[in-house]
Amino acid sequence: MSPSRLVVYSRRLSGLEEAMKMEREQRERSNTKFTRPLPLRRGRVSPRLPVPDDIPKPPYVSTKELPELASEHQFHDAEGIEKMRAACELAARVLQSAGELVKPSITTNEIDKAVHQMIIDAGAYPSPLGYGGFPKSVCTSVNECMCHGIPDSRQLQDGDIINIDVTVYLNGYHGDTSKTFLCGNVNDILKRLVKVTEECMEKGIAVCKDGASFKKIGKRISEHAEKYGFDVVERFVGHGVGKVFHSEPVILHHRNDKGGTMVEGQTFTIEPIFTIGSTDCITWPDNWTTLTADGGPAAQFEHTILITRTGAEILTKC
């Protein structure tokens, strides 16, 4: 066989092997039954924790109204970038410490207390506290909770997964990050969901740089997720972050035709949510806690990134 035919044959074989591998993985997923834990029930929510008067607070704290998404994109000069780095580094450290607390029997309220104390000890303000009336200093989203879970008296159970979403306000800048942690002995299906969700976030970040189109993020995330049979939750998006907690650009994590390109010095979050089952959702009467409609589990990861000339700097990487 000629060398050229060998190359063609090798490529065909490689493509066939890849197709067979994907078919095998899909078959394994469809043949694996997922046993859902007991549905989440609201525990007791304790009063909000105090913040020392000398710690600067974001302007929305003085009202219970949910702020509008700010229309301006957030760009930073050298001084602003350093302040963003400081806020994001603090958020990353707090998140890492919070994750070390995750174990069966701990309550999400205890996690909230620890996060609150770490943030105010650093002279910063916990951004979620008082945002649109949110009563706690961190979001804790367990199992089928997609996002915005309010910490309460529920104890974590062996086999749970929990997303902890930390945002700090330091020296006038917000740093925002989240991660889904495993609690005790988690089954392989949930481990795969968590792993692929993190990989999808990383794939989205990898396409970011000055001049890149925003729609590339959703395309790359969707391509990776589809290999494993997961669908992204389209309702929740990434956002600009900096002096303002939430601003343009809105970052879509699914395939889209949204216009616009990234600019050096810009900061925003990438934070996809994936589920096993339906991506439809319901929200509890507290107007925050959002669950999957069918009770299937959800996982989320989030980083704040800075656009550079050649790529993206992950500001919340610990």
Q: Which residues are annotated as a binding site for a divalent metal cation?
A: 165, 176, 239, 271, 302
Q: Is-cis flag, bond preceding 272, omega within 30?
A: no
* Separation of alpha carbons 261 and 318, rounded Å: 27
Query: Nearest-CA neighbor of 116 among 104, 128, 106?
Result: 128
Query: Which runs of consecutive H residues, i.e. helices, occur in the chain?
Result: 3-31, 78-100, 108-121, 188-206, 215-226
Q: Determine the residue type at 265.
A: G
Spatial contact of 232 and 219, defined as CB atoms under 8 Å apart: no
Identify the three-state secondary structure at position 214: coil
Burial class from Cβ neighbours inside 10 Å (0-12, 13-18, 19+) for residue 31 reads: exposed
The candidate with the shortest Cα–Cα distance to 111, out of 89, 142, 86, is 142
Query: Known binding site for substrate: residues?
Result: 148, 246
Residue showing tokens 């992204």:
232
Binding residues: 148, 165, 176, 239, 246, 271, 302
Euclidean distance between CA atoms 24 and 80, whole angstroms: 49
Q: What is the DSSP letter of 158?
A: T
φ/ψ (deg, to 5) at 247: -150, 175
